A and B are shown apart, each in its own frame.
Chain A
Amino acid sequence: MAGLPLLALVVFSPLVGALLIAFMPRDRVVLIRRLALATALVSFGFSLLLLIGFNGAASDAGGFRFVETATWVPAFGIQFKLGVDGISLLLVVLTTLLTWISILASFGPIRERVKEYMISFLILEVGMLGVFLALDLFLFYVFWEVVLVPMYLIIGIWGGPNRIYATIKFVLYTLVGSLLMLVAILATAFAFASAHGGDFTGAFDYEQLRGFPFTDVLQTGAFLAFFLAFAIKVPMVPFHTWLPDAHVEAPTAGSVILAGVLLKLGAYGFIRFSLPLFPHAAQSFAVPIVVLSLIAIVYGAIVALVQTDLKKLIAYSSVSHMGFVTLGIFIFQQQGLQGAVLQMVNHGLITGALFLLVGVIYERGHDRTIARMGGLAGATPVYAVAFGFFMLASVGLPGLAGFVGEFLVFQGSFVAWPLYAAIAVLVMTLGAAYLLWLYQRMFTGELSDFFRGLGDHLTDLSPVEVMTLVPLGTLVLLLGLFPGLALGVIQGPTDSVLNAVHGTVTALAGTP
């Protein structure tokens, strides 16, 4: 395997598939679907090779493995540089897994313009994988923006009735944040170049910029610009308003990717870029960000309680769950950060599965109003079990994946800031409330009139649907029982992020 550009293969194999599909006649729908699935599986396969070879691979000074470097724009020192560490490894595998599952889950629901859909989906995968693997800030930005357009089309073309409003809102929110990040990236590169006599060599190289002493003014400005981009993507309250709209209108697979991967891009950005590059600024903005995270946790949970639309409920639960992630990141504490990374992966698996399950019932009845549901436990027992399993994982039942991440974040915050942790724990019961209540309304009691009216259309999970859920369920169980599997690979990178943050300040309140 040595010498094989494995990362480039992971990232660009979907692009090859997209190009192949572009040249296929549009009426060969079955072939297009199969080719798209095969492409996504190939990329998944490459990412598994990455997973297998990860521990044996040599790492560079920054702790990155499988590093691939090529010059891209020599005049500006822009490189094509990819590398993987424990954090990005988990997210890359999550992405490739969720992509093929989403493509498989789209076979039934997407019947119009299948060709364009599959091309969009595969290009989306290229962008997401590139974001997680790029070690050059310019390259990172390019991939970051590449994500935008396919998602815009997926929501806008294959979405629900209010899709155009939702998709434009999604694009404009994201673009406003990301463009300021571009200015910040260029400004940091220029600062680096001026310190090296105007030479732009390495000015976008993440590993060279890391540890570069940016002035406080630049740190503050750049941190805020990056923060805006990432906070919108996560999304943190008060930048979250695009999310419920986008989720409700997106097709099922779009929601899965949106919740499963896209939200992680923002959190990943915080860990990869904001903290190590601008440690000073990160320190000074930590308290407000922690407060915003707590607000997100509480607010997301409360708003989820009152939702009447099934998808919107899960969307708001995402806001709440992602609040744990940002909380864990900005308490600058070992357990907290590890918990945040785990929570990212777990949330991707669990919420991805929940959106798939919402899609299942929507396919049957074309309605997501919770009030019209009831009594599904008797009619569709397999569905009820699957939903219950992922619902409990989302609540944070010990033994399932959701528990570990949140628990670590609590533990970390108790050490750092006990008061905040106490608030967060209280909210966890709210989380249990809205999900358990949802389950009760959907599955217990008499079969509702609405479902009765569906007659034979109300079938239990089909084999394909089971196939999409099984891998996610297995992983949720596996990571719940053996979190050490994931913690082992993220230990090194999270410690190095924290070193970068703590190395620059002498005293941090509550640091153990």
Chain B
Amino acid sequence: MTGPELAAIAPFGYVVALAVLVILADIVRPGDERVTIVIGTVGTLVGLVLVVAVGLGGTVQPVFGGAYQLDPLTTFLDMLFLAIAFLTILFSPDYLRPRHYPLPEYVATLLFAISGAMLISAARDLLVLFLGLELLVLPGYMLVAYAKRDGLATEGAIKYFLLGSFSSAIFLFGLAFTWGYTGTTSVAGVASHLQQVVTSGQVPAAGLLMGLALMTTGVAFKIAAVPFHYWTPDAYQGSPTPVTGYLSVGPKIAAFALILRLFAEALAPMRADWVGVVVVLAALTMTLGNLVALTQDNIKRMLAYSSIAHTGYILVGLAAFAGAPAGSSAASAGIAGVLFYSAAYTFMNLGAFAVVAALQGRPGVTSQIATFAGLGRRAPLAGALMLLFLLSLTGIPPTAGFFAKAYVIEAALQSGGLVPWLAVIAVVNAAMAAFYYLRVVVVMYMQEPAADAQPVTDSRPMRLGLLIAAVATVLIGLVPGLLIPMAQAAAAAIQ
């Protein structure tokens, strides 16, 4: 391997090594949670520095025969993935410890999954993309099933595993079609082949469209877009709460990374053929996610459906890209919107799940929304934080969630075709969503605490994680200018 190749895969390799280190440390000091937490958090922070350093180095030439390439988009996504890992590690011990679930294996599995996500963000070859996807989801199945004696967890894990493998297979089948008709697995190669097809004015071959349809279906499963979302509520409800938090952001944003690499790059010349599907998926996903969330009494299921709705909002950004002419500022605004939204969503959603996890510090606390009763009075800080995260998820300014929505809506308005109408659908949905988010606020602030209410956990890692999530949620909303140039630079990597 040459120097540039080593530099390019350094962040990926580092995270894999970190995962191994966590396991080794557990062998040397078995049962010492603190070692795991320190290695996990400090390690991900060092990884963050490494990603930035490599990213600033500006190694943009492809390595490994063009299959792997670092660009600003990779850097942006990798930072996000490591932030997700960092926060998830902080939020998990309080939940796992009282239930006697071992932490080291958990952290190592999580880091392996993150390495898969990082592989996706740098992949320039369809097969490497698939490899990254599998490396991402396989540890995910294990995490969902981490509470192996819990019936709900097992049910959720089986559903997640079956539908996940199924959708991977469909996706792979689509890749095979694409490969067959374009004769290459390289992202750039597929793009240039399709460009020829489009410019020559030929009708794309039926097989190619078949491949497109299968790949669309595959990724729609992964991001839990309606009508491919059925696994989500069960998997989210059954998983240990910190895992649910991770599931709602990690695999979702990684799948969006896959979509950006595949649809916004390889399949971009055929955007006229898939923009309609994305518009419909976005509209359905937002609307159905919110409608069903309205009726949920279980906070994890409610947040599961809310995360489906947020998938819809992110898809609005993708639709804005696809509906606009290639290379236009509107197209680039769409991608930047996807990235900005993903970052904002990461912090506010992980934060909300962390508060849920903090409430469940003692085994036996259910996920009913009623457990939040009087939280504003019995744990004012946790209540205030949950209020902040919920307001951000609703999209009330000046929070991250508000600016993220404004960003994708502005992109959609600039785009062509039916895409501007998504802006209207998005805001109508946001108003609908306010109802169920604010219902939690009602329970927290306008109802009395239950007599047998359990105390909220308050360990240092949990506090630190909540603080970071809250500060990020406020900061991205108040000073979006900090994040926008990064999102724009990352979006500029996609032509």
Contact = CB atoms under 8 A, between A and B. Distances in A.
Given A73-B481, A156-B442, A168-B438, A149 B427 contact: no
Contact of A172 (B329, B396, B398, B431): B431
A72 B482 CA distance: 10
A167 B420 CA distance: 32
Contacts of B158: none
A157 B445 contact: yes
B427 A182 contact: yes
A175 B397 contact: no
A153 interface: yes
Contacts of B410: 76, 186, 189-190
Contacts of B163: none
A309 B402 CA distance: 39
Interface in B408-463: 409-410, 413-414, 420, 423-424, 427-428, 430-431, 434-435, 438-439, 441-442, 445-446
Contacts of A138: 406
Contacts, number: 87
A288 B442 CA distance: 38
B206 to A, nearest CB: 38
B481 A182 contact: no
Interface in A462-498: none
A175 B329 CA distance: 30
A145 interface: yes
A497 to B, nearest CB: 27
B268 interface: no
B193 interface: no
Contacts of A172: 431, 434-435
Interface in B391-409: 391, 395-398, 402-403, 406, 409
Nearest to A115: B380
Specify which of A168, A172, A179, A187 lies most central, judged by the most chain B CB atoms within 10 Å of its CB: A179
Contact of B484 (A73, A146, A153): A73
A116 B428 CA distance: 30
A164 interface: yes
Contacts of B239: none
Interface string B371-407: 0000011001000000000010001111000110010
A142 B409 contact: no
A186 B413 contact: yes
Contacts of B325: none
A75 B396 contact: no
Given A73-B480, A149-B396, A179 B442 contact: no
Interface string B292-331: 0000000000000000000000000000000000000100
Given A146-B397, A163-B446, A186 B434 contact: no
Contacts of B430: 175, 179
Contacts of B377: 113
B36 interface: no
Interface string B220-255: 000000000000000000000000000000000000
Nearest to A142: B397
Contacts of A176: 428, 431
B376 A180 contact: no
A179 B401 CA distance: 14
| Interface secondary structure of B, over-half rule | helix
Nearest to A141: B397
Contacts of B74: none
A179 B413 contact: no
Nearest to A193: B414
B397 A75 contact: no
Contacts of B481: 72-75
B154 interface: no
Given A176-B431, A179-B431, A186 B409 contact: yes
Interface string A181-217: 0110011011000000010000000000000000000
Nearest to A179: B427
Specify which of B377, B397, B402, B435 lies most central, judged by the most chain A CB atoms within 10 Å of its CB: B397
A75 B427 contact: no
B445 A156 contact: yes
Contacts of B441: 152-153, 156
Specify which of B403, B423, B435, B446 lies most central, judged by the most chain A CB atoms within 10 Å of its CB: B446
Contacts of B435: 168, 172
A489 to B, nearest CB: 30
Contacts of B420: 187
A146 B367 CA distance: 30
A206 B33 CA distance: 57
B89 to A, nearest CB: 29
A437 to B, nearest CB: 36
A292 interface: no
A499 B299 CA distance: 54
Contacts of A163: 446
B485 interface: yes
B178 interface: no
A29 interface: no
A141 B427 CA distance: 14
Interface of B: 329, 376-377, 380, 391, 395-398, 402-403, 406, 409-410, 413-414, 420, 423-424, 427-428, 430-431, 434-435, 438-439, 441-442, 445-446, 480-481, 484-485, 488
Those 9 A-B pairs whose CB atoms lie nearest each other, nearest first? A179-B427, A142-B397, A75-B484, A176-B431, A175-B431, A186-B410, A156-B446, A145-B397, A183-B423
29 contacts: A26-B380, A72-B481, A73-B480, A73-B481, A75-B488, A113-B377, A142-B397, A145-B397, A145-B402, A146-B398, A148-B396, A149-B396, A152-B441, A156-B446, A157-B445, A157-B446, A167-B442, A168-B439, A176-B431, A179-B427, A179-B428, A180-B428, A182-B406, A183-B409, A183-B424, A183-B427, A186-B413, A187-B413, A190-B410
